[in-house]
Amino acid sequence: MADPVIYLDHQATTPCEPAVVAAMEPWWSDQFANPASRSHRPGLLAAAAVEQARTQIARGLGVEPAGVVFTSGATEANNLALKGLAEAELQAGGQRRHLVALATEHRAVLDPLHYLSRHGFELTLLPVQADGLVDLERLQASLRPDTLLLSTMAANNEIGVLQPLAAIGQLCRARGIRFHCDGAQAIGHIPLQPATLGIDLLSFSGHKLYGPKGIGALWIAPGVQVAPQLHGGGQEQGLRAGSLPVPLIVGLAKALELALNDREARAQRLEALRDRLWQRLAALGGVHRNGAAAPRLAHNLNLWIEGLDGAQLQRALRPVLAVSSGSACSSGQPSHVLQALGLSRQQAAAAIRFGLGRHTTSAEINAAVAALEHAITEARQL
């Protein structure tokens, strides 16, 4: 029997924690009622579980529960935030039509923004510096009296760099600009309380923090208006129609609870493993780290290797390591994030993203280093 593949792609998705699975289990079978069915006890119990989960999530984010809207994940939450805010502006007769984002955003942000740019809005995509961080002076200069929204990730999904959210929030608040943050890679991994950072809209997913797939949320600050993108049963204060998936909502709340409980210790341990991985690979020569060394997610390492064909390297590693060359949503194309940092298409194609996880061991890092050393040495001898 072949040895199991070492999974180091935790930024694509994470395993669902056993405690999360256990928390969800009764709501699949014994307590299966629809929370919108308020005329009987099973429905009321399901509704109570949803509201308890909403309160628990809000407490973890330092916000009021009323602002937490459940969605199918961060992609839907991003669409609700971006398109919903733009449509609400139109419906209210507002005149702001300018949108700003970084060129390194996830496609779940870029694609809705490009959609809006084809429907009467003007989009400015700001370049980033070579380390992946935004130039705050350039960002400030891009803001206009008609800017409606600025959107940026808290933590980049490919290179793991952390944008200066508090400073961005101050710039937006001073100008009455709504600040949207895609927090999918950040929630449960770094301290992130949106209200204290000046964030108006925060999106996140369960499966990035050891919870289930198919569930996420959008937090909407008090006073911010968004138009619904799904219409039907009027669930979630009329903002997101559809029967609520009680097991997934319970699982999301449990996953966030566990992630917040071990966040600091986990980050400290994974940072040490990540740094050991980087030091040993850098010693091979011709290995370059993509993105700033800090501030950065503790569990992320993204690098490119000189003189290697990316596809060939991925094939060599596939029997041993589960790693990626970029976003799980990139459809095999060279990373737009890495090209925004100044890498060529060929260099971006020769990149590897390591995403360490809660259960990554020192032995797995040693085995990953050995596999990479072997693959790189063989490739360079060809």
Q: Identify the residue whose tokens are 């929204």.
A: 149
Q: What angle do CA 84, 61, 266 make, to 5 degrees?
A: 120
| Strand bridging mode 178-182 / 201-205 | parallel
Q: What angle do CA 182, 349, 367 make, to 5 degrees?
A: 85
What is the total residue count of the chain? 382
**DSSP 3-state of 170:** helix
The number of CA neighbours under 13 Å toward the Cβ of 340 is 21
In the residue annotation, 172 being an active-site residue is answered as: no
Strands annotated E in 169-296? 178-182, 201-205, 216-220, 287-289
CB within 8 Å of 105: residues ≥ 6 apart: 113, 151, 152, 153, 182
CB within 8 Å of 294: residues ≥ 6 apart: none
**Nearest-CA neighbor of 169 among 221, 127, 122, 107?**
221
User: What is the 8-class DSSP label of residue 16?
Assistant: P
Structure tokens at 251: 């699982």
- Tally of CB atoms within 10 A around 368: 23
Hey, CA dihedral for 328, 329, 331, 334, is it positive or negative? negative
**DSSP 3-state of 74:** helix
Which of the residues 16, 172, 181, 329 is marked catalytic?
329
Q: What angle do CA 321, 258, 55 make, to 5 degrees?
A: 135
Structure tokens at 79: 């669409």
Q: Identify the residue whose tokens are 């979630």.
A: 236
Residue type, 56: Q
Residues marked active site are found at: 329
